Amino acid sequence: MDNLTHSLVGWALAETGLKRRTRKGLAACVLAANMPDIDVFFGWSPWAPLAMHRGFTHGLVGGVLLMPPVLALLLWLFDRWQVRRGTVFPSGLAMHFGWLLTLCYLGALTHPLLDMQNVYAIQLLSPMSARWFHSDGLFIISPWLLAMLGAGICASRRRAKRGRRGVGRPAGLALAGVVGFIALNIGLSALAWRAPSVGELHAAPDRIFASPEPLAFWRRDVIWRQDGRIAFGRYDPLRGVFTLVEHSAPVADNMADPLAVKAASATPEAVKFLAWSQLPMARIERHGCTATVTFTDARYSGTFVRRNFNFPVEVPAGCPAR
């Protein structure tokens, strides 16, 4: 998910009353909710689980277990530095490291739970496993979530400013609405996953994704792979709960072509791209004695995003006989 959504989830958690448990409570919730995305600064790392975006820092070990204590310690040290400088804290709250650590864990847990909802997926069990997990419950930027969270936070802050009771109730209701919205969308994606197997297609995909639209959240772009071929379809429960409303003829992914096999291990960058790609396809163009193999991912085959999700590799192709 986008970092604005992550921040609002952490902020909403804090507004339920948790930020009053300790000094730096709001900072702990918001920063922890964004913390796993620190991996974007480590693409150079020789350790693959850290270099992979949504790898180690998004998993149960790195992101949920190990990183929250680091953040809590940094916030505590910053607070100690402020105290030594004689800073006056308007909130009047005391510092409770136990609560600070708890809030860091709560905020950090929300990050992989949200990121697992879109088709980019996460390596939840990294570094023990490179398997990708996804539920396809949300578009990567959901205006519905932003609206719910923003309304809940604003309402809670207005109540606090006016000294009314139940200050944290609107934020809590917003978070409950978010959970309900995600559950509904996971159910819709589960129906979309089954749709290619129903009706005339009788498909048996070995991998399938159902990408929601940002506004019409009930609709899905369905992409699946079967026997080395990629197919696309559209799912709309308002037009058919159990079947696709349209679909394309399958096309070969070309990943078994000898030139694609050679290109797949030709460079470390190609290996890394294919480790991330979950529905890889290869476009092969011959130029005399060489060939350009361009790897793409079928999840991102649209006109506007394709150029950001492809990787070309040049390999020897053997000179044609004269």
pLDDT digits over 151-209, tens only?
999 999 999 888 887 888 999 999 999 999 999 999 999 999 999 998 778 889 999 99
Query: Facing residues of 122 across strands?
Result: 133
| Position 307 pLDDT exceeds 80 | no
CB 123 within 8 A of CB 115: no
| Position 233 pLDDT exceeds 50 | yes
Pairing status of strand 220-226 against strand 207-212: antiparallel
pLDDT given at position 5: 97
Q: What is the DSSP string of 10-72?
A: HHHHHHTTGGGSSTTHHHHHHHHHHGGGGGGG-TT-SSHHHHSTTSGGGSIIIIIIIHHHHHH
pLDDT given at position 111: 97
pLDDT tens, position by position, 141-165: 999 999 999 999 999 999 988 888 7
pLDDT given at position 67: 97
| Position 318 pLDDT exceeds 70 | yes
Q: How far apart are CA 141 and CA 123, in angstroms?
A: 20
pLDDT given at position 171: 96
Q: How far apart are CA 144 and CA 83, in angstroms?
A: 41
Query: Facing residues of 251 across strands?
Result: 230
Residue 268 burial by Cβ neighbours in a 10 Å radius (0-12, 13-18, 19+): exposed
Residue type, 307: R
Extract the tokens encoding 11.
């902020």
Least confident of 34-48, 248-262, 301-315: 301-315
| Position 306 pLDDT exceeds 60 | no
Please name the residues in contact with 236: beta carbons below 8 A apart, sequence gap of 6 or more: 218, 219, 220, 245
pLDDT given at position 161: 87
Average pLDDT estimate for 280-308: 82
Helix (H, G, I), strand (E, B) or coil at 316: strand
| Position 322 pLDDT exceeds 60 | no
* pLDDT band, very low/low/confident/very high, at 303 (cuts 50, 70, 90): very low
* pLDDT band, very low/low/confident/very high, at 96 (cuts 50, 70, 90): very high
Domain spans of the chain, in order of start: 3-134, 253-316
pLDDT given at position 305: 53
pTM for this predicted structure:
0.91
* pLDDT band, very low/low/confident/very high, at 321 (cuts 50, 70, 90): low
pLDDT given at position 301: 77
* E strand or H helix that includes residue 228: none
